[in-house]
Every structure is written in structure tokens, then in C-alpha cells.
Amino acid sequence: MNRFILTIVCALWWAISSATPTAEPVRAEIEALLAKLQASGCQFNRNGSWYTGAEAKDHLLRKLEYIEDKGTVQSTEQFVELAASKSGLSGKPYQVKCGSESPVESQLWLSKQLSVLRPLSSRSKP
């Protein structure tokens, strides 16, 4: 039942949102966040299987493109919530495992990395 409700909510969001492209700063921030995942050396769990950061980045970029075909991604947080936090097929949360640390949900890991990334990008602007 929860999956059905999630499907309806996503369908309504996509129907309501405009079909304009994602703003370049948002797209660049998403790509920078996924580059951090790729370079982290961490593993990414999707539907019970572990993948490298590079494989996770490729998968999440495909999900981003799918979402962009349906409408505009307004923020990196929205991307994380809609595409990078759980499987659209099983509804299971994605996880990230770094070294010997316990796995954490990808939404938490990506949000933490985003908070680190943002101050860096704002310092580089004149």
C-alpha cells in the first residue's frame, strides 16, 4: 500500500512540475555530490547488493535523467529525496558503507556530504 501511495505522489509531483530543465547550478551541485560518492572509496547498497562509488554514481545519474524527463529538479535535496535515498522498485533505502564503519542510509550520508560541499563551493566564489 505504501508503495502505491508513493507512486501516486511521485506521479502527481511529475504532472504538476514544469518540464523546464534543471538549473545549471543545481545540476552541477548534484554532479559534484555524486563525484564525492565516487571518490569516497565507500560502497553503495542497492536492493541487497553492494556496488562501488562509481557504479552508484552511474546509477544515480540515470535516475536523475529519468526524473528530469518528467520535470525540473528544484534542488539537490529534492534529487536526494526522490532519486538517491531508496529504490524505486523495492522501496528499500539505499545505504552507504565506508571502510569498517556501519552502513548508513544514503540520504543521511549524502546530506552530510552536501553540507560539507556547500561551504567549499561558496568560498571559491569571488
With contact defined as beta carbons under 8 Å apart, do 54 and 101 qualify?
A: no
C-alpha cell at 82: 526522490
Structure confidence by residue, pLDDT tens digits, 69-80: 888 899 999 999
Domains held by the chain: number: 1
Q: What pLDDT does 20 receive?
A: 72
The mean per-residue pLDDT over the stretch 102-111 comes to 98
Q: What pLDDT does 81 receive?
A: 95
The mean per-residue pLDDT over the stretch 9-28 comes to 70
Structure confidence by residue, pLDDT tens digits, 34-50: 999 999 999 999 999 99
Residue numbers of the domain that contains 14: 2-123
Task: Measure the CA angle with vertex 48, ends 42 and 72; round to 5°.
Answer: 70
The percent of residues in the chain predicted with pLDDT above 70, rounded, is: 79
pLDDT for 32 beyond 70: yes
3-state helix, strand, coil in the chain (%, to 5): 60, 10, 30
Structure confidence by residue, pLDDT tens digits, 78-103: 999 999 999 999 999 999 999 999 99
